[in-house]
Amino acid sequence: MEQRIRKAVFPVAGLGVRLLPATKTQPKEMLPIVDRPAVQYVVEEAIASGIRNLLFVTGRGKRAIEDYFDFAVELEYELKNRGKEHLLGEIRGIVNSAQIFYVRQKSPRGLGDAVFQARAFVGEEPFAVLLPDDIIMSDSPCLFEMLRLFAERPGVYVALIEVPHSEVSQWGIVSGREIAPSLYLIEDLVEKPEPYEAPSNLAVVGRYLLPPSIFDALAETSPGKGGEIQLTDAIRKLIGKEPIYGYRFVGEYFGVGSKLGYLKANVAFALKREDLAFEFRAFLRDLVERGII
């Protein structure tokens, strides 16, 4: 029987400490990249990849996310009266394209615990997990390519990028062998190893395709580094039980959970916008010519 992934989970309960003070009262996922919140880019990736059932794992102070992915009756009425149908289409797009659900993570116990909250939503199906902190700019959506590989070769999938050896202690790192272009069979995963302990410099970023067996693995996973339940530790428990693959995607990665990554994403996406690129590029060029940058 062919396995198909129909559901995606978005853990959005994090506190956004690295982006304070902006995130004191505003969810980090709602900070704008150009003119739309960061979380929208990741949601659009899921929808563009053919997934229509979306679950947000939220927490305290995340009500703005729920309000954003809902109808705004007064605003829509005003836009319609003003003849701004193009804006009406933009704000209705995701609401009309997907079924959206919510569950709360009652305490911040890590990514693994956040994914565990999706158990009832997922049931006995494989599913996708996308981290809104990790935005990927690519010609073909990263998730779409992972789903294409999954259809040909079912298993557990994680997205991979190469990172400098000096930064491996900030990432989940894999060891494995390349079995096809950009596709790795993973033999081990280590969460935030010291550089001298790291098995490679291939790091896991926030795109996962997971089987329902991940929930039993998470239930058996003790808190790891930082006192949190790590998703990579649970995936590691599936080695030998499920084939685990890594997809090294083609595209630009932006870790928008940090201030530098957030700034880079704004510049990169602004330069891709037809309505902004010409003047924005001229502005940047002027800054360079004046020695400001």
Domains and CATH numbers, the chain: 7-289 (3.90.550.10)
- Per-residue pLDDT, 71: 65
| DSSP conformation class of 8 | E
- Per-residue pLDDT, 68: 85
> Helices 259-271 and 38-48: crossing angle, nearest 10°?
60
Q: pTM for the full model? A: 0.91
Contact status, residue 59 vs residue 105, Cβ threshold 8 Å: yes
Q: In 123-245, which residue ranges form alpha helices assigned H by DSSP?
A: 142-152, 214-219, 231-237
58, β-bridge pairs: 104
CA distances from 69 to 37, 72, 211 (A): 11, 9, 27
Instruction: State the Cα–Cα distance between residues 293 and 288, nearest whole angstrom.
Output: 5
- Per-residue pLDDT, 146: 97
Instruction: State the Cα–Cα distance between residues 47 and 10, nearest whole angstrom.
Output: 13
Strands 7-11 and 127-130: parallel
- Per-residue pLDDT, 61: 85
Instruction: State the Cα–Cα distance between residues 164 and 239, nearest whole angstrom.
Output: 26
Q: Report which of 50, 229, 187, 188 is spatially closest to residue 128, judged by C-alpha positions.
A: 50
Contact status, residue 51 vs residue 96, Cβ threshold 8 Å: no
CA distances from 263 to 78, 99, 191, 226 (A): 32, 31, 26, 27
218-235: pLDDT as tens digits:
999 988 767 789 899 999
Contact status, residue 221 vs residue 230, Cβ threshold 8 Å: yes
Q: What is the average per-residue pLDDT within 67-77?
A: 71
Report the first-to-last Cα separation within the chain, whole angstroms: 57
Among 15-24, 112-121, 152-161, 237-246, name the one with the lowest average pLDDT.
15-24
Instruction: State the Cα–Cα distance between residues 246 and 67, nearest whole angstrom.
Output: 35
Q: Report which of 117, 112, 266, 133 is spatially closest to residue 206, judged by C-alpha positions.
A: 133
Phi/psi-derived region of residue 240, left when phi > 0, alpha when psi is between -120 and 50, beta in every other case = left
Q: Report which of 84, 92, 109, 136 is spatially closest to residue 11, judged by C-alpha positions.
A: 109
| DSSP conformation class of 226 | G
Asked if residue 3 has pLDDT above 90, the reply is no
191, β-bridge pairs: 172
Helix H or strand E segment including 162: strand 156-162
Strands 53-58 and 7-11: parallel
Q: What is the average per-residue pLDDT within 4-25?
A: 91
State the chain's mean pLDDT as an integer.
Answer: 90
Helix H or strand E segment including 64: helix 63-68
In the chain, the percentage of residues whose pLDDT exceeds 70 is 90
Tokens (6 digits) for 19:
């982006």
